[in-house]
Structure 1
Amino acid sequence: MTERTERSATPRKPQLSFWQIWNMCFGFLGIQFGFALQNANVSRIFQSLGAPIEDIPMLWIAAPLTGLIVQPIVGYLSDRTWTGLGRRRPYFLVGAVLATLALLAMPNSPTLWIAAGLLWVLDASINISMEPFRAFVGDQLPTAQRPSGYAMQSFFIGVGSVVASVLPFALAHLGVGNTAGPGEVPDTVRYAFYFGGAVLLLSVGWTVLRTREYPPETLQSFDDALPEPPRPNRDRVRCALFGASWLVVGGLVATTISMCGLDRQLYVLAGMIGAFGVALLVRGMIGAGGGFATVMDDLHSMPPTMVRLAVVQFFSWFALFAMWIYTTSTVTQLHFHSSDTTSAAYNEGANWVGVLFAAYNGFAALAAIAIPWMVRRWGLRWSHLCNVSLGGLGLISIALIRDSQWLLLSMLGVGFAWASILSLPYALLSDSVPATKMGVYMGIFNFFIVIPQLVAVSLLGALVKFFFAGAPAGALVIGGVSLFVSGLCVLWVREPGTGAAA
C-alpha cells in the first residue's frame, strides 16, 4: 500500500464553522483582558508604591519567570490529561479562577513586595490558561484553518486589550478618582482590575461550556497527525558534563559582574546560564521517563522549524518587553514632562499610555482580519516580515514624535506586529509538531518568549543607561531595531508546503 493510499484511508479532521472557531477562541478575550491590565498598569502600580524607575525591570522579572516554569509543565500535563471537561479545558478554568483572584487583590497591595508577589501569581495563572489555548487550536483545526484560528485569537486579544487598556482613562472621564496619595493606587486602576477579573472568568467559562474536544485516540487517527518521534537516547554522562560547563560559565559571568561593579540586573543573565546548567546536570543524573526528563529531551530534539522560529521569537519578544516596561516612563517624561507619580500630569500621561495600548490592540484586531488574506496572497513568512517591520517603525517613532496625539500613528504599526506575532509563528509551529506533543512543544516554545524577556530585564537598564544617558525612549529604539531583525530571521523558516527556507 502506498503512502498516499494509507493517508487517504485515514479520516480528515473536520473543518469548523466560523462560530465554532469563535467559541473556541472567545476565552482569549478574557485572558488578554487580564494580560493587558497587567502590561499597562503594573509599572504604574510599582511606581505608586515607591519603586524607583531603574528597579522596575527587576520587579517585572516575576512575569517571564513564571511563564518559563509554568507553560512547559502545563503543556506536558495537558497532553496527558483526559477528563469529563476534555484535555485542555480543565486548565483554562483553573487558570481563570486563580487569575481572577489575583486581579482582585493586586490593586489593594499594601506594599511594593506584595504587589510584586501578586504579579507572580497573576502571570502564573494567566499562563495556566494561555498555554493550552495555543495547543487547543492545533488540536481542533485542520492545517488549512490554523492561520484563521490563530488570527481569531489575535482578534479577541485585540478587542480585550482595547477595552482593558482604555478603562482607567474612561473611568477618569466618568469622574472616578485618578490620583492617590503616596503608597496608594488610584481608584481608576482599582476598578479596572475588578472589572477585568469578571470579564476573564466569564469569557473563559464561555469557551469551556461551548466547545468539545477530540479524545486523544481520535486526534491521533486524523490524516494530518504527525507521528511521534522516537525518544532520543541521551548520553547521561555527556549531558551532565555539558551541564557542569554551563554552570561554570554562569559562575564566571556572575563573578565578572561583581568584580567589575557592573549593573546588578546583569545577574539575571548569569542566573539564566547557571539555571540551564543545573537543568542539564539534573537530566544527566536521572534516567529517562518522567515529566522533567521528557521536557528536557523534547527541548533537545526540537523540530528544525521550531529551532528557527525560536530565533524569530527571541527578537520579537525582546522588543515587546521593552515597550511594556518603558512606554509609560517615556510618554510621561517626553510628552507630559513629569516623573512624579503623585502629580496630575504624570497620571494623565499614564492614562494616555493606556489609550495608546488600547489603540495598538484595536489595530491588532483589525490586522487579525487582514492577516488571513495576507497569508493567502504572500504566504506566512513574507506576511510576518511586513507586519513586524511596521512594528519596528512604530516603536522607533515614539522616541521621535513630540505631539502625543500622533503617537496613535505609531500604534498602528505596533498593532500589526502584535497581531502577527500572536498568530503566524504559531501557525508555522503547529504544522511541524506531532499531535501527541502539541501541548509540551507549545510550552517549550514559550521558552523563546520568556528568555528574551529575561534578557531584556538584565540588559535593557544597562543599555539605556550607557547608550542613551538613562532616557527611557532609548529602550523603544532598541526594541524597534529588534523587530526588524526578527522579520529578517523569519525568512530562514521553512513554510508548510515548501521545500526549504528562503
Structure 2
Amino acid sequence: MAVPEAERHRGRPRAPPQAAAAAMARPRPPVKSRVPLRRLLRVASVACGIQFGWALQLSLLTPYVQELGIPHAWASIIWLCGPLSGLLVQPLVGHMSDRCTSRFGRRRPFIVAGALSITVAVLIIGYSADIGWWLGDRGGATKPGAVGAFVFGFWILDVANNMTQGPCRALLADLTGQDHRRTRVANAYFSLFMAVGNVLGFAAGSYSGWYKIFPFTMTSACNADCANLKSAFFIDIAFIAITTCISVAAAQELPLGSTDRSSSAADGPESSNTQEAFMWELFGTFRYFSGSVWIILLVTALTWIGWFPFLLFDTDWMGREIYGGKPNEGWTYNEGVRMGALGLMLQSVVLGITSVLMEKLCRKFGAGFVWGISDILMALCFLGMLVVTYVNSMDSGGTSPADGIVIAAIVIFAVLGVPLAITYSVPYALISTRIESLGLGQGLSMGVLNLAIVIPQVVVSLGSGPWDQLFGGGNSPAFAVAAISAFTAGLIAILAIPRSSPQKPRTVI
C-alpha cells in the first residue's frame, strides 16, 4: 500500500523553502567510479623501487659504516637521522600534498621529487669512500671525510624516503576512498611490492661479485666490498626510475581545484583557522582522536620498538654473534653479513606470500587479531635469536658456525616475513579507515601514523648502542627488549582492537 506523503516525512525536520531550492539548483558532484585493481597494482609498484634501496640500506649500511671506523656502540646513532627526518618530513609532506594545486596532481610531484632525491643520496653514499679520499683520507682506522660524506648522504636518503612513502600511501587511500575492503587490498599490494623490492635488494646485497660486472666502481679508496655497495646502488637507481614512471603514469590524478580546496579546508578540525602553523595543526588533531585510534598508535609504537633493533643489527648480528667476526678483521664478518642478506631475501619471499593472503586473513579473523598474533610471532622469533646466540656461544670451537646454527638463524629471518607483512599493511589500513571522517587529508593521516613509528625509532637509536655496550657489546640486549615490546603489542592488539570494521563517526566541525 502506498504511504502518504505526509507519513513519509513525519518526524523529519523540514528544510526552509529557500534552502531546498538552493539544494535542488546546486549541481550534484560526479559519482566516483571504482578504481580497477590492476590500476591500484600499478600505482603501488613504486614501493618496489623504494624498498630495493631500503633493503640495501638495512642489510649493508650498518656493517659498512663500521668499516669506515665508527664503533658499534655509535652505529645506531647514525640511524637516528631516519626517525628524526620522518618525525617532521613525512607529516609535513603529507600536509603539503593534501593542499598541492600542481597541474600534475597532489601526490605525484612529491613522489617524483622524492625519487630524484633518493638517486642523489645513493650516489653520495656509494661514492663516500672516494669523496673521503679526495678530502684527504689516507689509511687509519677512521676515515673522517668518508664518514662525513656517508652521514650527509644518509640524511638525504632518509628524508627522500619519507618524502616518497607518505604520498604513495596517501595516493592509494585517495584512489580507494571509503571502500574499506579496497583500502586493505591497496595496502596489501603496496606490501607485496615492498616484498619484491626486498627480495631483489637483499639478493643484490648477498652477491659479492658486482664489482666484476661494474669494474669501474673499484678505485684506490674503494675496495671490493665498497664497490659491491656502489654497484648495487646503480641497480637501485634503475629500479627507482622504472617503478616511479609506472606508478606516476597509472595514477591519473586530477589537479586540486579551488572548489576542492575550499571544501577540504571547511572540513575537519583545522577549519577554524586554515593559516595556523603546521605543527600546531598536526598535534591539535590529537584531541579529536577516538580511543580506537589511540590504541592503533600505541600498538604501532610498541611494534616498532620491536622491529627497529632487528632492522638496525640483523646482518651485524649474523656477522658478530653467529660467525664471530668483526668489521675489517678477516673474512668471517663479511661472510656473515652476506648470509644475513640471504636470510632477509627469504624473509621477503615470505612477506610477499603473506601480502597476497592479507585481505582474506583480515576478513576472516579481524585485522586486530591478525596484527596481534603476528606481533607475538615476532616476539617468539626474537627469543629464538637469543637462544641461537647462546647455543652458538657454547659451541664456538671452529672458525665457522655449525650448519645447524646458520640454518636456524636463516629460518628465523624467513619466518619474520609474516609479521613484517602485517606491519607494512594493517596499521595503515586501520588508521586510514578510522580517521577519514575527521576531515584530515590522507597525507596528513599517514603523517600522524608515522609519528607512532619514528618516535620509538628515536628511542631505539639513542638507547640500543649504549644498552648493548652495557651488557658486553653484542646485539642480544636490544633483541631482548624488542621481544618484550612486541609481545606486549600483540596482547593489546588482540584484546583492544575490535574485529569488525568501525562505524562511520560524525565529522568534527
Structure-2-length-normalised TM-score: 0.79
Query: Partner residue of 1:228?
Result: 267
> Counterpart of 1:163 in structure 2: which amino acid?
L
Contact persistence 1:82–1:215 (CA under 8 A): yes
Aligned counterpart in structure 2 of residue 477 of structure 1, from 476, 480, 487: 480
Query: Partner residue of 1:311?
Result: 298
Query: Partner residue of 1:126?
Result: 161
In 2: Cα distance, 1:388 partner to 1:499 partner: 26
Aligned counterpart in structure 1 of residue 171 of structure 2, from 136, 139, 149: 136
In 2: Cα distance, 1:81 partner to 1:231 partner: 16
In 2: Cα distance, 1:399 partner to 1:181 partner: 40
Query: Partner residue of 2:195?
Result: 158
Give ranges in structure 1 of 5+ residues lacking alignment: 235-286
1:308-359 Cα deviation digits (max 9, x unpaired)? 2111111111121100222223211222111133521111111112112212
In 2: Cα distance, 1:148 partner to 1:347 partner: 39
Contact persistence 2:343–2:411 (CA under 8 A): no
Alignment of 1:181-200 (within 5 A): 185-200=225-240
User: Is 2:341 the partner of 1:354?
Assistant: yes
**Residue 135 (structure 1) shift:** 1.0
Query: Partner residue of 2:184?
Result: 147
In 2: Cα distance, 1:71 partner to 1:314 partner: 16
Aligned counterpart in structure 2 of residue 205 of structure 1, from 221, 227, 245: 245
User: Is 2:372 the partner of 1:333?
Assistant: no
**Residue 230 (structure 1) shift:** 3.6
Alignment of 1:459-470 (within 5 A): 459-466=463-470, 468-470=471-473
User: Is 2:460 the partner of 1:452?
Assistant: no
Contact persistence 1:180–1:186 (CA under 8 A): no
Secondary structure of 1:191's match?
Answer: helix
Contact persistence 2:90–2:166 (CA under 8 A): yes
In 1: Cα distance, 2:416 partner to 2:180 partner: 28
Contact persistence 1:228–1:437 (CA under 8 A): no
In 2: Cα distance, 1:92 partner to 1:213 partner: 12
- Number of residue-to-residue matches in the alignment: 440
**Residue 143 (structure 1) shift:** 1.9
Aligned counterpart in structure 1 of residue 127 of structure 2, from 101, 108, 133: 108
Secondary structure of 2:106's match?
Answer: coil
In 2: Cα distance, 1:84 partner to 1:232 partner: 25
User: Is 2:103 the partner of 1:66?
Assistant: no
> Counterpart of 2:309 in structure 1: which amino acid?
A
Distance 1:461 1:232, change over 3 A: farther
Query: Partner residue of 2:42?
Result: 23
Contact persistence 2:352–2:421 (CA under 8 A): yes
Secondary structure of 1:471's match?
Answer: coil
In 2: Cα distance, 1:54 partner to 1:486 partner: 27
Secondary structure of 1:150's match?
Answer: helix
Contact persistence 2:211–2:227 (CA under 8 A): no
**Residue 483 (structure 1) shift:** 1.6
> Counterpart of 1:379 in structure 2: which amino acid?
G
User: Is 2:189 the partner of 1:170?
Assistant: no
Q: Which has the larger radius of gyration?
A: 2
In 2: Cα distance, 1:387 partner to 1:215 partner: 40
**Residue 498 (structure 1) shift:** 4.9
1:166-210 Cα deviation digits (max 9, x unpaired)? 213224389679999998552221111111122112211210012
In 2: Cα distance, 1:482 partner to 1:181 partner: 45
User: Is 2:66 the partner of 1:47?
Assistant: yes
> Counterpart of 1:417 in structure 2: which amino acid?
P
Query: Partner residue of 1:98?
Result: 117
1:58-96 Cα deviation digits (max 9, x unpaired)? 111111111111001101100001322211111110000
Alignment of 1:413-452 (within 5 A): 413-434=415-436, 436-452=440-456
In 2: Cα distance, 1:437 partner to 1:168 partner: 37
**Residue 480 (structure 1) shift:** 2.3
Contact persistence 1:100–1:198 (CA under 8 A): no
Distance 1:440 1:202, change over 3 A: same
> Counterpart of 1:469 in structure 2: which amino acid?
G
Contact persistence 1:49–1:183 (CA under 8 A): no
**Residue 365 (structure 1) shift:** 0.6
1:421-468 Cα deviation digits (max 9, x unpaired)? 1110111111122365211121121111100000101222343334x4
Query: Partner residue of 1:280?
Result: none
In 2: Cα distance, 1:139 partner to 1:173 partner: 40
Give ranges in structure 2 of 5+ residues lacking alignment: 1-8, 14-22, 133-145, 393-404, 505-509
Alignment of 1:7-22 (within 5 A): 13-22=32-41
Alignment of 1:241-390 (within 5 A): 289-390=276-377
Alignment of 1:76-95 (within 5 A): 76-95=95-114
> Counterpart of 1:156 in structure 2: which amino acid?
F
1:10-36 Cα deviation digits (max 9, x unpaired)? 876533333111111011111111111
> Counterpart of 2:449 in structure 1: which amino acid?
F
In 1: Cα distance, 2:271 partner to 2:114 partner: 32
In 2: Cα distance, 1:99 partner to 1:211 partner: 21
Distance 1:97 1:481, change over 3 A: same
C-alpha root-mean-square deviation of aligned residues, in Å? 3.1
Distance 1:454 1:424, change over 3 A: same
Q: Calculate percent identity across the aligned residue pairs.
A: 22
Distance 1:386 1:217, change over 3 A: farther
1:270-321 Cα deviation digits (max 9, x unpaired)? xxxxxxxxxxxxxxxxx96243332232244444433221111111111211
User: Is 2:76 the partner of 1:57?
Assistant: yes
